[in-house]
Chains A and B, each alone.
Chain A
Amino acid sequence: MMMMMMNATGQGTNMIDAKLVNTVMQAVMEVCGTMAGTQVTLKEVIPTLDYKPIGDISSVIGISGEQGEGMLTLSFTEPMAGLLVGRLLGMAPEEITSEDMCDGIGELVNMVSGRAKTSLSEDSGSLYRLSLPSIIKGPGHEIGGRPKNCPFLFLVFEAEGHSFILQVTFRHF
């Protein structure tokens, strides 16, 4: 199994499975393309030491597996979320209610999670389990209960002049 190696804590080598990251990345692109008619490209991958609160609305998915546990967070600015949910609904971003914005982002991320879960299960049996997504809204929002002392990967996606962030972390048992 291919692994991304990062010595993030100084107490040994922490690893984020590249297959997990690649699968989620592909799922993000597929869901945005198929359901929201939006071509998304990966602009940058940045390894960091902790989660950073970014954007106005985030959706969090828990990961559990035989080897450890982790978290995926997709964070959007309001204009980015409005673009995607607007495309999903066939509406202009300014017509979307706050309720539909949260629901739409939750549904898109639910599809990302489901698509990734299916691919991971086909590729590696039941190595990972992904939870249903939860939504957190508000500028500078924090995510509670996240894994500590773990490396995070920031994946910066770009679409039509806007960007959004996928943060991935995984702590091995």
Chain B
Amino acid sequence: MMKVLIVDDSAVMRKVIIRELLKIGVEQANIQEAPDGLVGLEVASQESFDLILMDWNMPGMLGIDVVRQLRTAGIKTPIMMVTTEGEKTNVVTAIQAGANNYLVKPFTPDDFAAKVAQSTATKV
């Protein structure tokens, strides 16, 4: 069963993402939340996940910096950015940093499900 970590400083957005994950069959018990980049880095470094969903703009540590640190530490969990930063330069930056996929908010439930499926099918 897929285990997912959501790193987002918005509690509302975490709830929205959890709802979408439940719709595609992820069990609530297999979803963990981190309210900022620092906590996300700590949790992702200590536990194994099948997918990390990462916001970009967060207090303390930007999501892109968390991605860089996780990859530097050798953690190969697929990471999908879920962010309002939709400019092409940001997408390129995220992929270069080690993100596997990129979903721009606003997104439809179908977009979300398709990107999650793509992300979990890729390996770093």
A residues sitting closer than 8 Å to B (CB atoms) are: 30-31, 34-35, 85, 88-90, 99-100, 103-104, 106-107, 110-111, 113-115, 117-118, 121-122, 132
Bound-state CA distance A104–B13 (Å) is 8
Bound-state CA distance A116–B16 (Å) is 22
B86 interface neighbour in A89, A90, A115, A132, Cβ under 8 Å: A115
Residues A118 and B19 in contact, CB atoms below 8 Å apart: no
Residues B16 and A89 in contact, CB atoms below 8 Å apart: yes
Which residues of chain B come closer than 8 Å to A100, judged between CB atoms?
11-12, 15
Residues A114 and B12 in contact, CB atoms below 8 Å apart: no
21 contacts between A and B (CB under 8 A): A30-B106, A34-B106, A34-B107, A34-B108, A35-B106, A88-B12, A88-B16, A89-B12, A89-B19, A107-B12, A111-B84, A111-B106, A114-B84, A114-B86, A115-B106, A117-B86, A118-B86, A118-B104, A122-B87, A122-B88, A132-B57
The secondary-structure label for the interface of chain A is helix
From 69 to 90 in chain B, residues with beta carbon under 8 angstroms from any chain A beta carbon are: 83-88
CB distance from A119 to the nearest CB of B (A): 9
Residues B105 and A111 in contact, CB atoms below 8 Å apart: yes
Q: Is B122 an interface residue (CB 8 A)?
A: no
Chain A residue nearest to B111 (CB atoms) is A34
Residues B10 and A107 in contact, CB atoms below 8 Å apart: yes
Which residues of chain A come closer than 8 Å to B87, judged between CB atoms?
117-118, 121-122
Interface string of B16-34 (1 = CB under 8 A from A): 1001000000000000000
CB distance from B43 to the nearest CB of A (A): 21
CB distance from A102 to the nearest CB of B (A): 9
CB distance from B21 to the nearest CB of A (A): 13
Known: A34-B108, A114-B104, A115-B106. A106 touches B10 (CB 8 A): yes
Bound-state CA distance A133–B57 (Å) is 12
Bound-state CA distance A111–B85 (Å) is 9
B84 interface neighbour in A88, A90, A113, Cβ under 8 Å: A113
Which residues of chain A come closer than 8 Å to B12, judged between CB atoms?
85, 88-89, 100, 103-104, 107
